[in-house]
Structure 1
Amino acid sequence: MTASLRPLLLIALLLCSACNKNDSAVPTEKPAIAVETAIAAPALLTDAIHVTGTLAARNAAEIKSELAGLYTEVYVTEWVAVRKGQPLARIQAAETATLVKRAEAGALQARVEADRVQREAGRMEKLKGAGLATQQQLDDALSMAAAADALRQAAAEELAQLRLRLEKSLIRAPIDGVVAMRAVNVGDLAGADSGGNVIFRIVDNRILDLTVTVPSTDFGRVAVGQLLDFSCDGLPGRTFSGTIKYLNPSVNPADRSLQLMAEIDNRDGRLRDGLFVKGEILIGQRENVLLVPRTVLSGLDLAAGSAVLFVVNGDQAERRAVSIGTLSGDHVEIVSGLQAGEYYVSRGAFNLSDGDKVSVATVKQP
């Protein structure tokens, strides 16, 4: 009986193997990929040149001592506002003060003597007119008057110089602003022995200058009067504006780039001298331009003006090459390859291949 069943078992095994092969040959369909899409629609394009730069106070002063001596008083600390002419520090000047007093006495004496000799010369002129004095006597009197007047002027000039030197012992703020740096304390040595070091730095932040560099391909599009919008990391979410005031008459010989300067009104004091900023020079605006987010493009080549995105046709994704134009912030102009009204994949394209089935989760409206 066992021998008679073996052919039947062999046939059954062959039939099962054939069934398994037929089952494995049935292809499995790739599931649809969930994506988000957006409608390509015309928009307003702001043409701008992206730049970076550093803010600098237009008015700033570094103060040094012109005299030698010891600092006897320091009146201000760092980061306080000062007015033009406000005392900042004083240098010991007792010797100069004594010289000023002597010079004042000498100037007074010279003035009195000059007045006396001048009166004598006048009296001598009257006597000469009356025939009671000789011409020689008159000439001598006039010469003495001239000499006395010269001594009076010399004494007055010496007094003025000493007073100026005494005035320099009191160091004052040359401009309105804020003390950005103080490098002096009571007892420090001032003047030649200190090497002429900067002792105060005062900054007036009310007007700031922003210097930026424009590449050689764009410097022909900039002009005085254009707006420059910018922001900085220290003040997120805020945008500031300035106006281009000056263009460098020469380009950089290394890369042919051009430097320009914009004036920033900072009377509210929000910005600071030395801040690094990122901005854009507003060149113009164009309407009815197709713009897509930069993130939806792959293979972006700015030099060649080309990129790739996915367009949804029915339930399938189509890989499409597009020509790009101007960059505007986080968006890119599409010159050709995409038509207004078409749906492009805005999220989920990294999983796609050309011809894949897609399941649209959401559609962003323009």
Structure 2
Amino acid sequence: MKTLKSNLKPVALALLAVLVIGGVAWYATSHKAVDDKKTAAPKPALTVTVVKPSTASLPLTLTANGNVAAWQEASVSSESNGLRLTEVRVNVGDTVKAGDVLAVFSADTVNADVAQARAALLEAQATAADAVANAARARTLKDSGALSAQQISQYNTAEQTANARIASAQAALATQQLRLKYTKVVAPDSGVISARTATVGAVSAPGTELFRMIRQGRLEWRAEVVAQDLRSIVPGATALVKAANGSETTGKVRMIAPTVDQQTRSALVYVDLPQNAGSKEAPFKAGMFASGKFELGASQALTVPQQSIVVRDGFSFVFRLTPDNHVAQVKVQPGRRAGDRIEVVGGLQADTPVVLRGAGFLNDGDLVHVVAEQPAAAAVAVAVAAAK
């Protein structure tokens, strides 16, 4: 028994030594790995390019909404009384000139009245000729005493009455001729027919509207502008108007309304559209909604490429590059746009480098690797070489 115990003692000591050595080795290895991790360089989150803001001249514009309307509308009405409409020569959308015949009424009754008035005039002229001759003879006998003064006065009165009847007959004939003229409805001005209520066979009363036309085919954009922006708009300013179908045209401010609406606190700005805007093929129609912007000149602005701005949670941000190649998220206020550049109204200095490519994948405080921006041709060559 003593021999067995004496033999196990060296074995136990050997095992203990192995455990101690193994623990020391594990401790040294684990601490070396930790030290290696501490001394290893941090890995960048992304490779990016940077750019500095630049100053550019951007146009000053003022956006507004409004309706397209006719510059002036003309109402073409009937001036005949109790006549039947026999012919309608134009329809909605037709372009007419001043004096063109638009519709024709039946003239049979009027022609008969004209003939009767002309006959009455001939009768009055014949009666007047006899009265003039009698008055002339009476005046020659005035000094002879053959006729009394009363008789001579009666002859003179008959002459004047006959001449008055001639004038009355002439006026009646002119009235009937005017009625005959009114049997043809003519355009009061050049323009485009915008509405038609004339119907063949209808008997219209005087003053009944038959047609409505856009005078000279001119349209205007009536933009609604709030009161505080009115002072920046002057007559003659240029406005770019965009129709609901996407078509655009350029107009000029004709006038600004002298009053402001008490409910909306806005005033109408009248913008003349091109002369052919009201034609049948033109994209603008009276009554349609249109948006637009007034061009008010230009001003200097601090701009950055659109690619460098990141929108998160409804706000705009750029990533500023720090000296230790980390990025800091900076909230900015965007303004006007010009091509692929956006104005930065506030939150950024002119000499601050911001991330250009890769900004959308970064977070605040990320470490980045900065490379130079390659020209477009060089970038294409690099991509082709990489593909091969």
- Taking structure 2 as the reference length, the TM-score comes to 0.71
The partner residue of 1:321 within 316, 328, 331 is 331
How far 1:220 moved relative to its partner?
A: 2.4
Contact 1:38/1:344 (8 A) holds in 2:
yes
Contact 2:58/2:338 (8 A) holds in 1:
no
In structure 1, what is the equivalent of residue 256 of structure 2?
247
Look at both structures and tell me which one has the larger radius of gyration over its CA atoms.
2
The partner residue of 1:334 within 332, 344, 351 is 344
Question: 1:42-53 counterparts in 2 under 5 A?
Answer: 42-53=55-66
Write out per-residue CA displacement over residues 185-211 of structure 1, whole angstroms, 9 at most, x where no aligned residue: 433x13149x93x43333345533221
Once the two structures are overlaid, the 10-residue window that deviates more, 203-212 or 249-258, is: 203-212
Once the two structures are overlaid, the 10-residue window that deviates more, 161-170 or 55-64, is: 55-64
The partner residue of 1:290 within 290, 302, 318 is 302
In structure 2, what is the equivalent of residue 225 of structure 1?
236
Name the SS of the counterpart of 2:175 in structure 1.
helix
How far 1:42 moved relative to its partner?
A: 0.6
| Structure with greater proportional helix content | 2
Greater relative contact order (Cα < 8 A, sep 6+)? 1
Contact 1:310/1:344 (8 A) holds in 2:
yes
**Is 1:75 matched up with 2:89?**
yes
**Which amino acid counterpart does residue 262 of structure 1 have in structure 2?**
V
In structure 1, what is the equivalent of residue 174 of structure 2?
160
Write out per-residue CA displacement over residues 291-317 of structure 1, whole angstroms, 9 at most, x where no aligned residue: 34778364799xxxx954333447543
**Partner Cα separation in structure 2 for residue 147 and residue 141 of structure 1:** 10
In structure 2, what is the equivalent of residue 107 of structure 1?
121
The partner residue of 1:64 within 77, 86, 89 is 77
Unmatched tracts of structure 2, length 5 or more: 1-17, 376-388
Contact 1:209/1:264 (8 A) holds in 2:
yes
In structure 1, what is the equivalent of residue 139 of structure 2?
125
In structure 2, what is the equivalent of residue 281 of structure 1?
294
**Is 1:352 matched up with 2:362?**
yes
Compared CA separation, residues 102 and 43, structure 1 to 2 (3 A): same
Write out per-residue CA displacement over residues 245-303 of structure 1, whole angstroms, 9 at most, x where no aligned residue: 2222211112322222122332475453424332222233223x2134778364799xx
The partner residue of 1:151 within 165, 178, 197 is 165
Name the SS of the counterpart of 2:200 in structure 1.
coil
Contact 2:251/2:271 (8 A) holds in 1:
no
The partner residue of 1:190 within 203, 224, 228 is 203
How far 1:43 moved relative to its partner?
A: 0.7
Write out per-residue CA displacement over residues 193-248 of structure 1, whole angstroms, 9 at most, x where no aligned residue: 9x93x433333455332211111221222222322232334354x44131x22222
How far 1:341 moved relative to its partner?
A: 4.9
**Which amino acid counterpart does residue 329 of structure 2 have in structure 1?**
R
Write out per-residue CA displacement over residues 18-73 of structure 1, whole angstroms, 9 at most, x where no aligned residue: 98xx99xx89x786347676542111122221112223232432333344343222
**Partner Cα separation in structure 2 for residue 300 and residue 121 of structure 1:** 107
| Structure with greater proportional strand content | 1
**Partner Cα separation in structure 2 for residue 125 and residue 38 of structure 1:** 114
- Taking structure 1 as the reference length, the TM-score comes to 0.74
Write out per-residue CA displacement over residues 84-124 of structure 1, whole angstroms, 9 at most, x where no aligned residue: 11112222232222122111211232233334423433443
**Which amino acid counterpart does residue 49 of structure 1 have in structure 2?**
L
How far 1:354 moved relative to its partner?
A: 1.3
**Partner Cα separation in structure 2 for residue 159 and residue 360 of structure 1:** 99
In structure 2, what is the equivalent of residue 211 of structure 1?
222
Compared CA separation, residues 329 and 254, structure 1 to 2 (3 A): farther
Name the SS of the counterpart of 1:106 in structure 2.
helix
Name the SS of the counterpart of 1:285 in structure 2.
strand
How far 1:82 moved relative to its partner?
A: 1.9
Name the SS of the counterpart of 1:128 in structure 2.
coil
In structure 2, what is the equivalent of residue 90 of structure 1?
104
Contact 1:117/1:144 (8 A) holds in 2:
yes
**Which amino acid counterpart does residue 320 of structure 2 have in structure 1?**
V
In structure 2, what is the equivalent of residue 265 of structure 1?
274
Contact 2:254/2:271 (8 A) holds in 1:
yes
Contact 1:72/1:90 (8 A) holds in 2:
yes
